[in-house]
Amino acid sequence: MAADRRPAGRIQRLGMADNYWSMGVPGPCGPSSELHYDRGPAFGPEGGPAVDGERYLELWNLVFMQNVRGEGPAKEGYPIVGELPARSIDTGLGLDRLAAVLQGAGTLCETDLLAPTLRLVQELAGRPYPGRDGGEESLSFRVAAEHARSVAFLVADGVLPARDGRGYVLRRLMRRAIRHARLLGVDDPVLPSLAGSVVDTLGQAWPELERHRTLIGRVCAAEEEAFGRTLRQGSRLLDSAITAAHSSGSAVLPGRTAFELHDTYGFPVDLTVDAARSAGLTVDADAFAELLEEQRRQAHQAGRERKGGAVARRDLYRDVVARHGLTSFVGYGTTASEGRVVALLDGSGPVPEASEGQEVELILDRSPFYAEGGGQVGDTGTVRTSGGAVLEVLDTRPGLDGLHVHTARVAQGAVRAGEEAEAVVDAARRDATARSHSATHVLHAMLRRVLGDHAAQRGSRVEPGRLRFDFAHFAPVDTGPVQTLVNDYLLDDPGVRAWEATRDEAEAAGATAMFGERYGDRVRIVDIGDASRELCGGTHVGHGAQAGPVHIVGESSIGTGLRRIEALAGADALRHHDHEHALLAELAALLNVPPDQAPARLRQRLDLLAETRRHLDALRDAERAALARRLADGPEQLPGGWLISAIVPDTGDLRTLAADVLARRPRTEPGAVILGTRSGAKATLVAALTDATSGTASSLLREAAAALGGGTGGRGPIANAGGRRPERLDEALGLAARSARDLLTP
């Protein structure tokens, strides 16, 4: 402290809540030693960091990683359940905070790292930054500037907006920045220009920002547009809810309304609170919090139930591994091998044998069957035992890492644990799968070449002759150039090589790893020429040309920032091509032109058809107008008004005809129009009333609807009825006309 220069007097112990670091979940943790800088009385009172964290700014810390924490919130003092086998020290210096101290800046946003972006916020808002003591307004300036920087770096690092994971964190940052810009009165798109300012300021020090400038701008623009749609839709729903609250005399907006806007439409709850406050309402925050907590509880409970069954099954597999060891997989080099049945499992657990027709999980000590993983489906095939049993392998998947579990149906005889067996993979299916897998790797490489490194794999499904590839991108992709690149590359017949290395060696060699996948200390790498190098445990072709051709059959969005390509490979692609060629030939024959002229001739025919339909619609409109004039000219005069009732030809829209007739009569006189028509096996009635007529149109059709064997629809001055008894239409029209006469006769 300023008054006490002794080192001991400048040391404070803040306890576990403030000086004990963890990841926020059970795992490594340890006490933290922090170095703070006193920025002087202008920033707050004396007393050290325990009194004021703004004045005494943390610059550096040392975390002594030595313990393991258990469950429990940090502020409540989570339990320490053990010690790490090896201790370490994690240290870090805050660049922003050091810059603030060296430059005498009031806030981190006023340093030269962020000041240009903060100035741009002021320009867009049309008002000056009020300084660090400006309350909520000052906060909005800082959030818009700082979040724009975070957004730029995240996108440059390959993160795109998504509904979960790190993409969800990015989306929250983007939408919070946009939200605070709106609070400052900036209604035009703001995020692309703010992120561009970040690139201008920091692009020289961080070249990846400059390399991805265009991507950053496009992602920001797309997300801001999407958030704008969310705000517009949510605002309409919120306005309706506020109107309903006012109509009911309530001063509180229901918590369920706020929750549905938040959960279903992604509408920020703080926006709901602000809008309600402006309308003189409060939001039932307790009900909102209760619904949010209930949602979390249900999700947690569902997860626990799913996890419970999986854990029980894993325990069975662990017991198998403990007794017999892991599966020796020999499938990279062969599709047939000898082995021994080490275990048979059914739904309840281990069984000594399985008989004909029974489905079991078969575990061999040695297997050529690939277990589903890395997007590739598991192998199928046949297992024959020394006891004469024949099993059809329906699928293969990993029970645990290194344990192959074969889902099999006993086709013949009975299989017993301990028997010797011959395992044979369906080689044709395996080859078709390998073609798809190699094609997927090349597709991934060419997408990154065309779109950029951000177009990284986010999931895949590799099946015999077919593949599905999910990747990060923010806009539709023209797949034509991508398909050409893939096929040209495969046609050059690049070599395919699989090799093993440590994870560090693989990363140093530039191997691509799929985000979210788990890898061991030693990994398998697959090279396809010089374009593709990926960590992969799947099966592949021997040469690139064996994977082609590749035909892309679809490209679509599967969520914000995520695209999906579906494609065929090898013989399946050729069969698809033959099928499309046959369709084109059939179409050309129907149009009586050569195949290359079929599209132009079809467009010509479609244009002619559209023109014909326009003429037909015009004729129908003219006929309907003429019929409406004839009907309007001859009403039945009643003591209290007029009535027009008739059975008319099917005009396609009886309600429109009735409204047209009504429009040709004086609206200030009581009157009714009742029209009926037959269309195939159905009869329809429509009733319409003028504004001066008391009662409802539907009341005129109740008896008529019953006669037709149907019901009524519509409210107010126009209604309709229908049924499957067209032979009773005359009777139904008479009943409706009688009801109208009763209504119009005082």
Question: Quick one: pLDDT at residue 288?
Answer: 87
The verdict on 65 and 152 lying in the same domain is no
Q: Most distant CA pair in the chain: distance in Å?
A: 109
**323 and 417 together in one domain:** yes
Of the residues 93, 115, 133, the one at which a domain ends: 93
Percent of the chain whose pLDDT exceeds 70: 96
Q: Is 29 annotated as a binding residue?
A: no
Among 93, 119, 142, the domain boundary falls at: 93
Instruction: Look over the chain and give the mean of its residue pLDDT values, rounded to a whole number.
Output: 89
Q: Do the annotations mark residue 540 as ligand-binding?
A: yes
**pLDDT tens-digit readout, 74-127:** 555 678 888 998 999 988 888 888 888 888 888 888 899 999 999 999 999 999
Arithmetic mean of pLDDT, 702-714: 88
Query: Worst-scoring range by mean pLDDT, 201-210, 262-271, 305-314?
Result: 305-314
Q: Is the domain of 279 the same as that of 170?
A: yes
* Residue 42 Rama label (left phi>0; alpha psi -120 to 50; beta): alpha
Does 307 fall in a domain? no
Residue 672's closest CA among 699, 647, 642?
A: 642
Minimal CA–CA distance to 644: which of 658, 625, 623, 626? 658
**What is the CATH number for 484?**
3.30.980.10
Residue 134 shares a structural domain with residue 275: yes
Task: For residue 696, give Cα distances in angstroms to 473, 631, 643, 667.
Answer: 55, 22, 15, 16
The answer to whether residue 557 sits within a structural domain is yes
**What's the confidence (pLDDT) of residue 571?**
95
521-544: average pLDDT: 94
Please tell me the predicted confidence (pLDDT) of residue 131. Answer: 84
Q: Clarify whether residues 250 and 131 are in a common domain.
A: yes
| Burial annotation 57-82 (CB, 10 A radius, 16+ → b, else e) | bebebebbbbbbbeeeeeeeebebee
Q: pTM of the predicted model, to two decimals?
A: 0.66
Q: Are residues 466 and 557 in contact, defined by beta-carbon separation less than 8 angstroms?
A: no
My answer on whether 416 and 462 are in the same domain is no
Q: What whole-number distance in Å separates Cα of residue 181 and Cα of residue 141? A: 7
638 and 738 part of one domain: yes
The average pLDDT across 716-728 equals: 89
Within-domain flag for 368: yes
User: Which residue segment(s) compose the domain that 711 sits in?
Assistant: 632-744
Distance of CA 480 to the CA centre of its chain: 25
Residues 567 and 698 in one domain: no
Same domain, 465 and 565: yes
| Cβ contacts of 163 within 8 Å, gap of 6 or more | 171, 559, 560
pLDDT score recorded for residue 687: 94
Of 400, 425, 450, which one is at a domain's C-terminal end? 425
- The answer to the question of residue 616 being in a domain is no
CATH code of the domain containing 328: 2.40.30.130
Least confident of 197-201, 436-440, 540-544, 653-657: 653-657
Q: Are residues 481 and 524 in the same domain?
A: yes
- Location of structure tokens 């950053």: 216
- Nearest CA to 155 among 96, 227, 225, 209? 209
Distance, CA of 736 to CA of 646 (rounded, Å): 11
- Supply 346's token pair: 């059914």
Identify whether 106 is part of a domain. yes
So what's the pLDDT on residue 609?
95
Q: Sort residue 592 into left (φ over 0), alpha (ψ -120 to 50) or beta.
A: left
Q: What is the pLDDT of residues 273-283, one digit of tens each?
A: 877 887 888 88
Q: What is the pLDDT of residue 237?
A: 85
**Stretch 130-157: mean pLDDT:** 88
Q: Does residue 12 surpass a pLDDT of 90? A: no
378 close to 369: Cβ distance less than 8 angstroms:
yes
**598: in domain:** no
**What is the tens place of the pLDDT at every residue in 189-218?**
999 999 999 999 999 999 989 988 988 998
Chain segment 50-85, per-residue pLDDT in tens: 887 778 888 888 999 999 888 766 555 678 888 998
The residue type at 216: I
Q: 530 and 453 in one domain?
A: yes
pLDDT at 485: 97
Asked, for residue 481, whether it belongs to a domain, the answer is: yes
- The number of distinct structural domains making up the chain is 5
CATH assignment of the domain containing 738: 3.10.310.40
Do 349 and 388 lie in a common domain?
yes
pLDDT over 90 percentage in the chain: 54
Q: Please indicate, yes or no, if residue 714 is contained in any of the structural domains.
A: yes
Q: How confident is the model at residue 1 (pLDDT cuts 50, 70, 90)?
A: very low
